[in-house]
Amino acid sequence: MTALFLSLCVCLALALSNAAPAHHDVMIKDAPEDERQSHPKGEELHDAKPDRCKGVEFDAITPDEKGNTFFFKGDHLWKGFVGSAELSSSIFKELDDYHHLGHVDAAFRMHHQDDASVHDHIYFFLDDKVFSFYNYTLEKGYPVEIQQEFPGIPSHLDAAVECPKGECITDSVLFFKGNETYSYDIKTKTVKKKMWTHLPNCTSAFRWLEHYYCFHGFNFTRFHPVSGEVTGTYPKDVRHYFMRCGEGFGHGGGARKLRCSEVKLHAVTTDDKGRSYAFHDAMYLRLDTHRDGSHRFPISRSWKEISGGVDAVFSYGDNMYIIQGSQIYIYKSAAHYTLIEGYPKPLKEELGIDGPVDAAFLCPKQDTVYFIQGQKMYEVDLAATPRVVKKEIPIPFPKIDAGLCDADGVKVFIGPEYYSYESPMILAMSRIKPIPQKISPEKFGCED
Ligand SMILES: *[C@@H]1O[C@H](CO)[C@@H](O)[C@H](O)[C@H]1NC(C)=O
Ligand SMILES: *[C@@H]1O[C@H](CO)[C@@H](O)[C@H](O)[C@H]1NC(C)=O
Ligand SMILES: *[C@@H]1O[C@H](CO)[C@@H](O)[C@H](O)[C@H]1NC(C)=O
Ligand SMILES: *[C@@H]1O[C@H](CO)[C@@H](O)[C@H](O)[C@H]1NC(C)=O
């Protein structure tokens, strides 16, 4: 798993021209107040542009509403994973009015869809003030005292990161200061203090594709946003993962995304929370979060008990059914996927069909699941007891890779192409294949 994570992260920098992970600084922040005022911050802040490949301890990292990631250090920032530093005030102009501060302590992108007046705004923290930006423009009435907007949160923060409902229990923000973490509930404005003493002091924090990273020094550590738990081998050097640094940082240099023409899905599904996933070999890709980029992670990262690839996946109610060979795993889907006790079980025993299957799908608000095995489609009513194959229908394809049914109808995937039908019955009855559509970079995070 560690090796996989490594090789995956290799392609991170390249994968996303649009999205960026972020990082933060300690040197400046930790300097005593008077020293900050009287001493120049050193060559990297004044004479020359800082070079993040030489090792920079970032002050803050945040995505914007378009999915670009900004890394901040002193009065400079980097936009995205590739490229050189520029003055922060060239993008966030009003920060210049407070330029004497010369840095930001922390930043995050607010996730709170219930309130359009704050959702997707970027919040910057400077000493005891908070600034809210949208569309790169300072919102009226800002800056304000941090405690006015975020009661219970201290000044002179080190790091901050959004944590949407589903990943945290409620829409929240995690704030970091020294060895303390504050979990702030956006709606109720309640604060829970956490002592995650196993975590290093984070100088910046970043959420990227449902993963949470604490940056410290030139390193980062991935943690769980609710428990603070760290799994895997950390810390890792930021330069191998979150930026492209060439020589000596081979990881960031040579990898690339899968070409769309090489894609062969094994399964695809959308759960009741609207999360869409594509499965390919032992990896999965989230399909509905493209704003912030796309990246393949090992299936076992989200569905711990699954090793290797899967054959078919479908969602029914708040459960996700994963078929591997002749076995079926049923996961409860909440913030995380939890295997239901007693699983995996033989597919035959659970659904009355022999594995393996090529694809399985269920249309929204229906109880009938369709399995495809070679040129046959089988119908099983999940509301019936016992569950048995009700109908067997031939389909006009010799072999398919994956199938999906959503509000737009059925999609049948074969290699890098897919065919759309209005319904499973129309798929079964149609004599003429529709024109195939290509798996596209926009929808599948691959490379043209
Ligand atoms: C964003 O700001 C630019 C000018 O800085 C303006 O032209 C544009 O209309 C704004 N977009 C939105 C969505 O407010
Ligand atoms: C972490 O922060 C605490 C203050 O909360 C400080 O005492 C400690 O020295 C810091 N540790 C490191 C390694 O900087
Ligand atoms: C956290 O830092 C404070 C100093 O700010 C220190 O007194 C305390 O022992 C630290 N706690 C841990 C668990 O390191
Ligand atoms: C990064 O982590 C390694 C251990 O993996 C440690 O030896 C090194 O000192 C750390 N460097 C920085 C700058 O944090």
Give 399-446 as a 3 state SS string. Answer: CCCEEEEECCEEEEEECCEEEEECCHHHHHHCCCCCCCEECCHHHHCC
- Do 30-240 and 260-444 agree at the fold level? yes
Q: Looking at the CA of residue 201, tell me the nearest atom of ligand 2.
A: 1
- What is the 179 CA–ligand 3 centroid distance (Å)? 6
- Counting every residue, how long is the chain? 448
Pair 162, 109: CB distance under 8 Å? yes
Least confident of 287-296, 357-366, 397-406: 287-296
Report how far residue 156's alpha carbon sits from residue 384's, in angstroms, rounded to the nearest whole number.
Answer: 60
pLDDT in tens, 421-433: 999 999 998 888 8
The model's confidence at residue 257, banded by pLDDT at 50, 70 and 90, is: low
Query: Above 50 in pLDDT, residue 176?
Result: yes
All structural domains of the chain with their residue ranges: 30-240, 260-444
Q: Which CATH number fits domain 30-240: 1.20.20.10, 2.110.10.10, 3.90.550.10, 3.30.750.200?
A: 2.110.10.10
Stretch 315-335: mean pLDDT? 94
Query: Above 90 in pLDDT, residue 297?
Result: no
Task: Show Cβ contacts of residue 294 under 8 Å, excluding neighbours closer than 6 positions.
Answer: 15, 16, 209, 257, 285, 286, 287, 444, 445
Place of tokens 């081998």: 233
Buried b (16+ CB within 10 A) or exposed e, 45-72: beeeebebbeebbbbbbbbbbebbbbbb
- What is the 107 CA–ligand 1 centroid distance (Å)? 21
DSSP type of residue 52: G
Report how far residue 302's alpha carbon sits from residue 321's, in angstroms, rounded to the nearest whole number.
Answer: 14
Q: Does the C-beta of 415 come closer than 6 Å to ligand 4?
A: no
How many C-beta atoms lie closer than 10 Å to residue 197's C-beta?
9
> What is the longest distance spanned by two Cα atoms in the chain?
80
Place of tokens 């295997």: 339
Q: Measured between alpha carbons, how far is residue 261 from residues 2, 15, 64, 112, 416 in Å?
A: 28, 16, 31, 37, 5
Query: Which residue puts its alpha carbon closest to atom 1 of ligand 3?
Result: 179
Residue 49 is predicted with a pLDDT of 81
Instruction: Indicate the Cα dihedral angle 80, 83, 85, 90, nearest 10°.
Output: -70
Q: Looking at the CA of residue 217, tell me the nearest atom of ligand 4.
A: 14
Q: Please tell me the pTM assigned to this model.
A: 0.75
Query: Which residue puts its alpha carbon closest to atom 14 of ligand 3?
Result: 197
Stretch 209-223: mean pLDDT? 93
Q: Residue 243: which of 97, 389, 83 has the closest Cα?
A: 83
Q: Does the C-beta of 201 come closer than 6 Å to ligand 4?
A: no
- What is the 180 CA–ligand 3 centroid distance (Å)? 8
pLDDT in tens, 274-293: 889 999 999 998 888 777 77
Residue 209 is predicted with a pLDDT of 83
Query: Which residue puts its alpha carbon closest to atom 9 of ligand 2?
Result: 178
Structural fold of domain 260-444: Hemopexin (2.110.10)
- Write out residues with Cβ below 6 Å of ligand 3: 178-179, 197
- What is the 217 CA–ligand 4 centroid distance (Å)? 7
Q: Does the C-beta of 217 come closer than 6 Å to ligand 4?
A: yes
- What is the 250 CA–ligand 4 centroid distance (Å)? 18
Looking at every residue in the chain, the average pLDDT score rounds to: 84
pLDDT in tens, 51-61: 888 888 999 99
DSSP type of residue 141: T
Place of tokens 């009661």: 151
Place of tokens 């798993």: 1
Query: Above 50 in pLDDT, residue 2?
Result: no
Q: Looking at the CA of residue 197, tell me the nearest atom of ligand 3.
A: 13
Query: Above 90 in pLDDT, residue 256?
Result: no
Q: Does the C-beta of 218 come closer than 6 Å to ligand 4?
A: yes
